[in-house]
Amino acid sequence: MPPSVPKVTRAQIVVRGLTNRCPNCGAHSLFKPGTLFQVNETCGACGFAINRGNDEAFFLGSMSLNYGVTLVGFLLPVALLAFFGVIGTTTAIVLAGIGAIVVPALLYRSSRSWFLMNYYFFLPHHLPANGGTGRAGQDENT
């Protein structure tokens, strides 16, 4: 029997993840309308379980991505600029202090989407559109 072709491809999952869309249907439904940080429990368009209340991995995973991108994308360049004398030490400390708070807040929405993208990129068969239940723990690969 030939392997089944997924309805939602990995390329679609990546595009949806980078544009903060539901990985299952592509709707702009990850966050509650009018809020910045409140994740919807389910997708309003397809019912996909976005916020897995009792699955801390989805929160901690996205925060780890957020931390890593902030560290490598902002704090490390500031440290290198100070190290090579492009900016002063005081300026670097102020920039790092402000950036350590502001950059993760700016990346919060994207990091939640990136983690969903990361998860379903490697386990696309877990998406309901591809025949999965959309929940972690559905097989031994989780």
Q: Which one-letter DSSP state was computed for residue 21? A: -
Assess 103 for contact with Zn ion (CB under 5 A).
no
Q: Which is nearer to Zn ion, 8 or 82 (CB)?
A: 8
What are residue 42's DSSP bridge partners?
49
* Beta carbons within 8 Å of 4's beta carbon, 6+ residues apart: 131
Q: Where are the beta strands (DSSP E) in 1-142?
A: none
Of 62, 57, 26, 19, nearest to 43 (Cα)?
Answer: 26
Q: Which is nearer to Zn ion, 29 or 110 (CB)?
A: 29
- Per CB under 5 A, contacts with Zn ion among 48-87 are 48
> What is the smallest separation between the CB atom of 34 and Zn ion, expressed in angstroms?
19
Q: How far apart are CA 116 and CA 20, in angstroms?
A: 10
Assess 120 for contact with Zn ion (CB under 5 A).
no
Q: Among 25, 30, 82, 107, which residue interacts with Zn ion (rule: CB under 5 A)?
A: 25
Q: Among 8, 12, 17, 24, which residue interacts with Zn ion (rule: CB under 5 A)?
A: 24
Greatest alpha-carbon pair distance for the chain in Å reads 65
Q: Among 12, 13, 16, 22, which residue interacts with Zn ion (rule: CB under 5 A)?
A: 22
Residues in contact with Zn ion by CB under 5 A are 22, 24-25, 27, 43, 45-46, 48
